[in-house]
Homo-oligomer: A and B are copies of this chain.
């Protein structure tokens, strides 16, 4: 893969490929990390496509794992290994990658930019990932969907009626705001990882609630958000990635399609 052009990438002991540790077989929360790495053209490996990838995930979250000399034990994937460092939590990994991959404004131009981008990413993940997941698992993540189906239908109806327009409306306002700048992106007129997160969140939400998202799109009330969604898809490296075998299909992960949950208000 070709090299990214971050402002000040330095050769260091960490100038090694990134390694994503995430459940093989679903895009899930790992997909936010993949999109950042793909957009930057960074070199990386991924347990979704390595031998014994699943074993690696399971070993990392084993209840006897006490970390190593420098790394704390970690509770859940996605995790990122970079040289000797291993960290987890999606927004934390993106924060780590943001400056390294040129996906936040350079700190010497905009020292606070990283907090704006982190805040946007956290909000997108709250509204379009955590809450959407909970629409098919409102009672217990350890139970089957079928054991909480009625509650899921009830929560999904509330989500598409109240929460989906709330969060779409919020990001539409961000895109209208002065600090968003010119062009399709959320902050400072340039692509940041928050745009990639919002794209992926909306793509997954569309998979789970196709009718409701289409209704929102047609309403015309969120045109800037849907324009951002399309603009991310048109990024050359993202476009190539989305067509590749590396882009996994949605399955029984964060975003799930169940006909009875595909409700509209």
Docked pose: A76 CA to B47 CA in angstroms: 36
Distance (Å) between the CB of A167 and the closest chain B CB?
8
The answer to the question of A108 belonging to the interface, with a C-beta cut-off of 8 Å to chain B, is yes
Residues of chain B lying within 8 A (CB to CB) of residue A100:
2
Instruction: Report whether A99 and B66 are in contact in the complex, using a CB–CB cutoff of 8 Å.
Output: no
A95 CB to closest chain B CB (Å) equals 7
CA–CA, A130 and B186, complex, Å: 26
Q: Interface size of A by Cβ–Cβ distance < 8 Å?
A: 70
Minimum Cβ distance to chain B for residue A101 (Å):
9
A69 to B181, CA, bound (A): 10
Please tell me if the beta carbons of A122 and B66 are within 8 angstroms of each other in the complex. Answer: no
Across-interface contacts of A87 in B (CB, < 8 A): 112, 115-116, 119
How near does chain B come to A203, taking the closest CB pair, in angstroms?
A: 20
A169–B75 Cα distance when bound, in Å, is: 10
A 123-140 binary contact with B (CB < 8 Å = 1; else 0): 100010010001000111
Instruction: Map CB proximity to B onto A69-89 as digits: 1 under 8 Å, 0 otherwise.
Output: 111111110000000010111
Asked if residues B162 and A140 are in contact (CB atoms below 8 Å), the reply is yes
Q: How far, in Å, is A192 (CB) from chain B's closest CB?
A: 12
Selected contact of A158 from candidates B142, B162, B180, CB within 8 Å: B142
| Alpha-carbon separation in the docked complex, A73 to B178 (Å) | 10
Q: Which of A72, A134, A158 has the most CB of B within 10 A?
A: A72
Most buried by B among A8, A85, A100, A114: A114
Q: Does the CB pair A187–B72 fall under 8 Å?
A: yes
Interface string of A89-117 (1 = CB under 8 A from B): 10110011011100000111001101110
- Inter-subunit contact A99/B3 (CB<8 Å): yes
Q: Identify the 3 closest CB pairs spanning chains A and B, nearest first.
A: A2-B99, A1-B107, A140-B158
> When A8-B1, A75-B170, A130-B130 are in contact, do A69 and B179 touch as well, CB less than 8 Å?
yes
- How far apart are the CA atoms of A66 and B224 in the complex, in Å? 14
Contact with B along A144-185 (1 / 0, CB 8 A): 000000010011001000110001011001101111100000
Residues of B within 8 A of A180 (CB): 72
Q: Are B138 and A108 in contact (CB under 8 A)?
A: no
Does chain B have a CB within 8 A of A59?
no
Q: Are A73 and B158 in contact (CB under 8 A)?
A: no
Are A119 and B89 closer than 8 Å at their CB atoms? Answer: yes
> Cα distance A103–B140 when bound, in Å?
34
